[in-house]
Amino acid sequence: MSKLSELQKETRTLANPEKSALLMRFFKTGKGEYAEGDIFLGIMVPESRKISLKYFDFSLPDTEKLLHSKFHEERLIALFILIYQFEKGDESAQKKIFSLYIANTQYINNWDLIDITAPKIIGEFLFRKGKGIDVLRKMACSKSLWERRIAILATFQYIKNNRFEETLEIAEKLLFDPHDLIHKAVGWGLREVGKRDQALEEEFLKKHAKEMPRTMLRYAIEKFPEEKRKIYLNRKIEK
């Protein structure tokens, strides 16, 4: 039995129909919802992590096949394996993983898959190469909701390294995005910038707060003192 077949046999053994139903509701897999048609086995994240550690030495071709699985948890396990291999790999291995990720964004198709991986693979690779913004600009303009979320989440690795201009530029590009998942992600990114440089975040907010979606604004100002939050929420902002 191949390693891939062995892993898939293990995931099927762990399948839990009751948890599957709960996860499918939580991750909005119904008709017309953002993850319409996604299928869950009902495996919790800690179990998925354990499986990924057991199969950490998967070949890239097998990992890519697993990433194409119809089951959400198997795609998550594939991404955990990629993170592990990226963190342990040399520059050549990291470049291959980055390229595989970029080529397979259609399978990285829910917010949890993106939030776990985009900073650690896309963000880290581009930050170290010093040329990330062109890639992220392109993704921010994508028709794919998931590529747009990857664009803003990848900048979290820049924030971690006290570089904020990439987050602010991508946030500005996504300011009028129609989707709530982008509003939340952009607001989250602005909040993280503000935790390190509140004056810089407020400079951005004074320019854009009156026009940005309310959900985005609420996330961005979550850590502000109550009185200041009220000023922004009431849009009574002096530029």
CA 232/CA 52 separation, integer angstroms: 43
Among residues of the chain, what percentage have pLDDT more than 90? 90
Q: What are 142-199's pLDDT values in tens digits?
A: 999 999 999 999 999 999 999 999 999 999 999 999 999 999 999 999 999 999 999 9
Ordered by start, the domain boundaries in the chain are 1-117, 136-239
Rounded to whole angstroms, the Cα distance separating 229 from 217 reads 9
- Please report the pLDDT score of residue 233 as a whole number: 87
Q: How far apart are CA 145 and CA 217, in angstroms?
A: 20
Mean pLDDT of 128-139: 86
Q: What is the pLDDT of residues 39-48, one digit of tens each?
A: 999 999 999 9
Distance separating alpha carbons of residues 54 and 212, to the nearest angstrom: 44
Q: How confident is the model at residue 131 (pLDDT cuts 50, 70, 90)?
A: low
Provide the 10 A C-beta neighbour count for residue 54.
15
CATH class of 136-239: mainly alpha
Entry pTM: 0.94
Mean pLDDT of 15-41: 94
Assess contact for 100 and 64: CB atoms under 8 A.
yes
Identify whether the C-beta of residue 194 lies closer than 8 Å to the C-beta of residue 202: yes
Same fold, 1-117 and 136-239: yes
Find the angle CA(184)-CA(23)-CA(46) to the nearest 5 degrees: 90
* Region label for 21, one of left (φ > 0), alpha (ψ between -120 and 50) or beta (otherwise): alpha
Please state, in angstroms and rounded to a whole number, the distance separating the CA atoms of residues 187 and 35.
21
Q: 1-117, which class in CATH?
A: mainly alpha
